[in-house]
Structure 1
Amino acid sequence: MIPVNTSIVSGVALSEIDGEMRLLLMKRVKGEFWCHVAGSIEGYETAVEAILREFEEETQIQVSELYNAQFLEQFFEPSVNVIELIPVFVVLCHPHQQVELNDEHTEYKWCNLSEALELAPFPNQHAVYKHVWSYFVDKPINSLYRVPYHT
């Protein structure tokens, strides 16, 4: 039997940079690969509370527009024999959003879709970025995806 872990959330930040929509990738210290924001749900947090906290911790981005990406990242983690199911959120940031990384990452880059696909090593990341680009950049965002929250 392979257990399923549902205690992680992830989020893709989008910001208009020099007139073009871009998504945020960060280079992780652990493993030295490019990724989007992600982290564990702590204590009695909801998934929404966890992603808001993770954005603040990892990037200092104060979330003002949060969306359910309508996508689950899923992959097998062989080192712990677990299938990860991770809800993906999208954060629409102000144009030219400033980023201040914590010690989990060494650098960041605002990428167009092709740059993100080139930098990110995992097929599941590619699926996330293509989905987000399709539903949040290439077409108007469906208002049903908006996630109401209180800070």
Structure 2
Amino acid sequence: MIPVNTSIVSGVALSEIDGEMKMLVMKRTKGNFWCHVAGSIEAQETGWQAIVREFSEETQIEVTHLYNAQFLEQFYEAYYNVIELIPVFVAVCPPNQTIEINHEHSEYKWCTLDEAKHLAPFPNQHAVYDHVWSYFVEKPINDLYRVKLKPSN
């Protein structure tokens, strides 16, 4: 039997950079590969609360427009013998969003879809980026995907 882990969330940031919509990818120091924001859900957090915190910790983005991407990243992690099911979120940022990466990343880039897919090594990342681009860049964003952010207590 292979256990399923559902304790991780991920998110793609979008911002209009110098007039062109782009997505944020960062190079992880652990593993030395390009990826989007991701992290573990902490005690008493919902998935959307965890991704808002992760955006803040990893990039200093203060999320004000968050969407459920309606997509699950899924893959088998051989080292841990676990299937990861990871809900994906989208943070739509103001134009020319500034980024300040933390110690988990060595560099970042705002990328077009093709650039992000060229940098990201995993097929699941390509599927996430294709989906996000299709439903959040090429089409008007469906308001049903919006996550209503509540003030934290």
Give the TM interval when normalised to the shorter protein: over 0.9
Q: What CA RMSD, in Å, does the superposition of the two structures yield over aligned residues? A: 0.4
1:23 maps to which residue?
23
Mapped to 1, the partners of 2:19 and 2:96 lie a distance apart of 9
Residue 97 of structure 1 aligns to a residue in which SS? coil
The percentage of aligned residue pairs carrying the same residue is 74
Q: What corresponds to 1:124 in structure 2?
A: 124
The answer as to whether partners of 2:33 and 2:120 remain within 8 angstroms in 1 is yes
Q: Tell me by how many angstroms 1:145 deviates.
A: 0.4
Count of residue pairs the alignment pairs up: 151
Equivalent residue, structure 2, for 1:105: 105
- Residue 6 of structure 2 corresponds to residue 6 of structure 1: yes
CA displacement 1:53-90 (0-9 Å, x = unmatched) = 00000000000100000000000000000000000000
- Distance in 2, matches of 1:30 and 1:125, equals 17
Structure 2 spans left out of the alignment, 5+ residues: none
Deviation of 1:30 (Å)? 0.3
SS in 2 for 1:137: helix
Measure how far apart 1:149 and its partner are: 1.5
After TM superposition, which residue ranges in structure 1, 4 or more long, deviate above 6 angstroms?
A: none
Query: What TM-score comes out, normalization by structure 2 length?
Result: 0.98
- Give the match's secondary structure for 2:71: strand
Structure 1 residue runs of 5 or longer lacking an equivalent are none
Deviation at 1:93?
0.2
Normalization by structure 1: what TM-score?
Answer: 0.99
For 1:55 and 1:150, the matched residues in 2 are separated by 16
The residue that corresponds to 1:38 in the other structure is 38
Name the CA distance, whole Å, in 2 between partners of 1:58 and 1:150: 21
1:150 is displaced (CA, Å) by: 1.2
